[in-house]
Amino acid sequence: MPTRTSKIWLVEFLGTFWLTFGGCGSAVLAAAFPGVGIGLLGVSLAFGLTVVTGAYAFGPISGAHFNPAVSLGMVVAGRLRPSLLPGYVVSQVLGACVAAGVLYLIATGKPGAELGGFAANGYGAHSPGQYGMWAALISEVVMTAVFLVVILGATSAQAAPGFAGLAIGVCLTLIHLVSIPVTNTSVNPARSTGPALFAPDWAMHQLWLFWVAPLAGAVIGALIHRVIAGAGDVGLSARA
């Protein structure tokens, strides 16, 4: 029988696979499809919906992080044992990389396929709105910090039960609506790593920012939550 820990690794892999495949897939396959392109709003909703569905499917097992920054924030907030963090991160990165590989196989399965940036995150010439490195860094730090504040608040013992997944998904949708023009929105190092493997070389060269900024933002968000809620807060991820 699978152990509790192995189940956590598996669902974090599956959840991050779904987030990357669903969110990035909407950008690569559907955003600019002639006649039915879903655009910025559609891609933003796709990322939010992957989190909503994944949270309700896998939340009871692992807390449904699907994001190394979220897992780090949970550790800083006292919701996750530090010894579990490496397993979460490895599972998440693997899930995102496999999802990007599957998406690549689909996207290249038609004549004359043009992948463009393959939903990779970037700054400067590779930012959708041509925003520079510092704008990208600030955006990713702030957005991830807010994301952690919302996650930790929505999953606290004092929050209304049953609504955490919805609140978190709506928050991620809003984050994408604001920051897609700046960086194509990361707030998730795993989500950034998977597509970067199949994107043009610039994506790997700029990947450092999409690890550093979300991780820094997660720490800031977790510390803000600790100040607001107090050290005695217990949330859903405390079980993991």
Domain ranges, ordered by start, for the chain: 4-110+117-239
Cα 85 from Cα 88, distance rounded (Å): 5
**Mean predicted confidence (pLDDT) in 34-49:** 88
Q: What count of residues does the chain have?
A: 240
Q: Residue 43 is which amino acid?
A: V
Mean pLDDT of the chain: 93
pLDDT at 92 over 90: yes
Cα 64 from Cα 112, distance rounded (Å): 37
Helix (H, G, I), strand (E, B) or coil at 233: coil
**Which residue has tokens 């897609």?**
180
How wide is the angle at C-alpha 45 spanned by C-alphas 129 and 166, nearest 5°? 130
pLDDT at 50 over 80: yes
pLDDT at 43 over 90: yes
163-220 residue pLDDT tens: 999 999 999 999 999 999 999 999 999 999 999 999 999 999 999 999 999 999 999 9
- Check: CB of residue 168 under 8 Å from CB of residue 150: yes
- β-pair partners for 188: none
Confidence of residue 240 (pLDDT cuts 50, 70, 90): very low
Rg (CA), the chain: 17
> Which tokens belong to 195?
């597509």
Predicted pLDDT of residue 114: 84
pLDDT at 221 over 90: yes
Looking at residue 87, the DSSP 8-state letter turns out to be: H
Q: What CATH superfamily classification does 4-110+117-239 receive?
A: Glycerol uptake facilitator protein. (1.20.1080.10)
102-139 residue pLDDT tens: 999 999 998 888 888 999 999 999 999 999 999 999 99
> Which tokens belong to 200?
């043009």
Count CB-CB contacts under 10 A for residue 6. 11
Confidence of residue 153 (pLDDT cuts 50, 70, 90): very high
